[in-house]
Structure 1
Amino acid sequence: MDVMEFFQQSTGRWRSQRTTHHLAFRRAEAGESEIQVEALPADHPKIVEICQLHQVDPARAIGGAFVSWKGAMGWDRDDDNHEGSTVFALIPDAEQPRQGTLLRERGYAEIVPVAGQYHMDDENALVLTTEYETMSSVERFWFPNPSLRMRTSTVKRFGGFTTATFCTEFRVADATDTSSASEQTPKTAETKYFSFLGW
């Protein structure tokens, strides 16, 4: 599987259940979200736009994805809002196409345009590494089967604060279902949504 095939397999609507461990506080926080993923071809206007935002030649892109989400975590206050969307563009290395640069409209740990590094590992999992001004993150995604995706992520802030997250994501609709994720209602009233990682 190459990286674009990974995004194509991710297309559809997903329900994500996550646990985030706040290591400094030795406490865990649960959450849930609805995520909509759409794979985009290299010539899609959104891919061209994100390349231009990062001052990268759009001709180097092989495609990407548009992701929208609605969610929250257990510790959220009433005014917390975990809803939005982002665009990814994939810029592979010329000599090693299973790795390259992933351009994001917004990052996971900081809501700013950011460029991270990706590679497909030996188990066909997608690994993303992103350096921000004040922190760094490492994320890994893989498919145990086509309707189940797993994700782990760690965020390290330069002051020493670290969080680690594990997500289980279930496909609830494939690419042919165009229903909006925001139209869905969680089945558990006490568990709120949480925003996807900007993907």
Structure 2
Amino acid sequence: MNILEFFQKSEGSWKSIRTTHHLAFKKAESGESVICVKTLSPDDTQVLATCKIHNFDPKLSIGGAYVSWTGGMEWDKEDVKHDGSTAFAIIQDTEQPQSGKILRDRGYADAAPVVSSYQLSEEDVLTLTTNYGGMDSTEQFWFAAPNVRLRTSIVSISGGITTATFCSEIRIINTNDSEAVSIKQEKKLVQNKQSKIVMNKMTPSFGW
């Protein structure tokens, strides 16, 4: 799988169930959101505009994506919503095509434009690393099944981890009977594998 195929596989709407551990407070909170992903062609106006923001030649981009989200977290006040959107432009490394840069017109932790480095492993695990001016974020995405995507996120400041997040994301589709059975099977698959995945993906980073 290459980076474009990864985003194409991610295209659509997803229900994301999240648990975030706040290490400083020794507490965890949960939340839910809906994430929508749409792939963009290299000549899409949003891709061109994002390249312009970062002073990259648009001809270097192989395409991109538009991502929007809405949801909330357990500790939120009633009037607080985690809504937003961002456009991506992908700049592939010509010598190492499984790595490169992802330009965003805005970040998740900061509304300012941001550049992330990406690496897609042989196991089809996408790793994004981002620096938000003193705050570092490392995210990993992978598919447990075609309609089940998993994600981890670690945020650190001055080398110390401040938050650690795990998300399970289920594709939202209009189901007929066979599709419904397939999704139930995939949900069961991720439930059966989740403890193993958490140990393999998270323990080395978190030390738990």
CA–CA separation in structure 2 for the residues paired with 1:127 and 1:20:
18
1:25 aligned partner: 25
| Greater helix proportion | 2
Residue 113 of structure 1: how far off its partner (Å): 0.4
Q: Report which stretch shifted further, 141-150 or 76-85.
A: 76-85
The question of whether the paired residues in 2 share the 8 Å contact of 1:16 and 1:167 is answered with: yes
Is the Cα–Cα contact under 8 Å of residues 109 and 137 in structure 1 kept in the other structure?
no
Aligned-pair Cα RMSD in Å: 1.4
Q: TM-score, normalised by structure 1?
A: 0.84
Specify the code of the residue in structure 2 equivalent to 1:43: D
Q: Tell me the amino acid that sits aligned with residue 49 of structure 1.
A: A
The separation in 1 between residues aligned to 2:123 and 2:99, in whole angstroms, is 14
- Higher-Rg structure is 2
Mapped to 2, the partners of 1:147 and 1:161 lie a distance apart of 30
Spell out the pairing of 1:107-146 with structure 2 (5 A cutoff). Answer: 107-146=107-146
The question of 1:163 aligning with 2:163 is answered yes
The higher relative CO (CA closer than 8 Å, separation ≥ 6) is in 1
- Judge which range, 129-138 or 106-115, deviates more: 106-115
* Aligned-residue offset at 1:160: 4.2
Unaligned runs of 5+ in 2: 175-208
Structure 1 residue 88 corresponds to structure 2 residue 85: no
- 1:155–1:163 Cα contact (<8 Å) kept: yes
Q: Which amino acid aligns with 1:102?
A: I
Closer, same or farther: CA 66–122 of 1 in aligned 2, 3 Å: same
Give the 3-state SS of the residue equivalent to 1:9 in structure 2.
helix
1:148 match: 148
User: Do 1:109 and 1:155's aligned partners in 2 also have CA atoms closer than 8 Å?
Assistant: no
Return the offset for 1:26.
1.1
- Contact 2:154–2:161 at 8 Å: present in 1 too? no
- For residue 59 of structure 1, give the secondary structure of its aligned residue in structure 2: helix
1:173 shift after superposition: 2.4
- Determine the structure 2 residue equivalent to 1:52: 52
User: Is 1:2 the counterpart of 2:27 in the alignment?
Assistant: no
Paired with 2:70 and 2:18, the residues of 1 have a C-alpha distance of: 14
How many residue pairs get matched? Answer: 174
Counterpart-to-counterpart distance in 2, 1:33 and 1:74: 12
In structure 1, distance between residues paired with 2:87 and 2:139: 17
Question: Where does 1:68-79 land on structure 2 (aligned, <5 Å)?
Answer: 68-79=68-79
CA–CA distance in structure 1, aligned partners of residues 145 and 159 of structure 2: 38
Contact kept? 1:109, 1:135, Cα under 8 Å: no
Worse overlay, 109-118 or 134-143: 109-118
